[in-house]
Amino acid sequence: MARAGSTGRGRLLVIAIPYLWLLALFLVPFLIVVKISLSQDALAQPPYTPVFDLAQGWAGFKDFVSQLSLDNYGYVLGWDNGFVEAYGSSLVIASISTALLLLVGYPIAYAMARAPKGVQPALLMLVILPFWTSFLIRVYAWIGILSPEGFLNQGLMTLGLIDQPLELLNTDLAVYIGIVYSYLPFMVLPLYSALEKLDGTLLEAAQDLGCPPFKAFWSITFPLSLPGVAAGALLCFIPAVGEFVIPDLLGGSDTQMIGKSLWTEFTANRSWTASSAVAVLLLVVLVVPIVIYQNIQARQLEAGK
């Protein structure tokens, strides 16, 4: 009996340690963000009021609540302040990038799944390898390619296709290229694992029943790869909405993305309260895709059994 008790304790520890860690360093910080988004900027350390003081008990709590305000949300949602535009354009850029990623990633994943079994691990390795190299480096590489004196412009000019450099860097196009380039492994891997699982005899059965290969693709392969499509799309879309490095390094001054706005609000304007409000609203925008993504993830892990 004593033994059974100690296993119960072990089980409790295994759950409690990571649980408490995530509560303290993942969930509680969000609550703090929400709280600060309802506070006012102040010239103090920390630079916001009210500061909740447990020592003052219930009266202190009432006092604290009465000082909370929605002013920051008014500021962030005000039309003139550019945040609403930034939310909108982040969603647009993320959607277009995700569509482009699907368009680029699907043929690659399909070809990988169709390749001889022996070379598939090598191909998989080739897709994953860039992911292990620094994200920043991969974005940086494109500055050298897209800049006015960069490789692309030089190449096009050498070929005589253009006679003066194209404006490529610091445009939305550069942001699209950057996102597609950096996120491609995240799109290809779920697609590949969905396509690779596909039972080859299904296609043979379809052909045996008189369905030509192209039609079999649309009526068999594609529908069965949809879980992979959904996983890949969400895995790219959600972080892309909040992307900061790519629009900052590759985008132009008129490329508005909410991650960049948040960063600027925080570092340049030093408004902790407004940036908290921006973060809370960004999370509100993303909560639905995140929940869908989690459901897919959980279901796939279950199916793995």
Asked if 218 interacts with other proteins (CB under 8 A), we say no
Asked if 196 interacts with other proteins (CB under 8 A), we say yes
Contacts (CB under 8 A) with other proteins, residues 159-188: 181, 184, 188
Contacts (CB under 8 A) with other proteins, residues 269-288: 272, 275-276, 279, 282-283, 286
Total residues binding other proteins (CB under 8 A): 101
Asked if 229 interacts with other proteins (CB under 8 A), we say no
CB of 218 to other proteins, least distance (A): 15
Q: Which one of 100, 170, 183, 243 is in contact with other proteins (CB under 8 A)?
A: 243
CB of 274 to other proteins, least distance (A): 11
In Å, the largest CA–CA distance within the chain is 85
CB of 151 to other proteins, least distance (A): 6
Looking at this protein, which amino acid is placed at residue 92? V
Contacts (CB under 8 A) with other proteins, residues 94-133: 104, 107-108, 110-117, 120-121, 123, 125-130, 132-133
Asked if 137 interacts with other proteins (CB under 8 A), we say yes
Closest CA to 170 of 198, 151, 142: 142
- The contact mask relative to other proteins for 34-53 (x = CB under 8 A, - = no) is --x---------x-------
Asked if 14 interacts with other proteins (CB under 8 A), we say yes
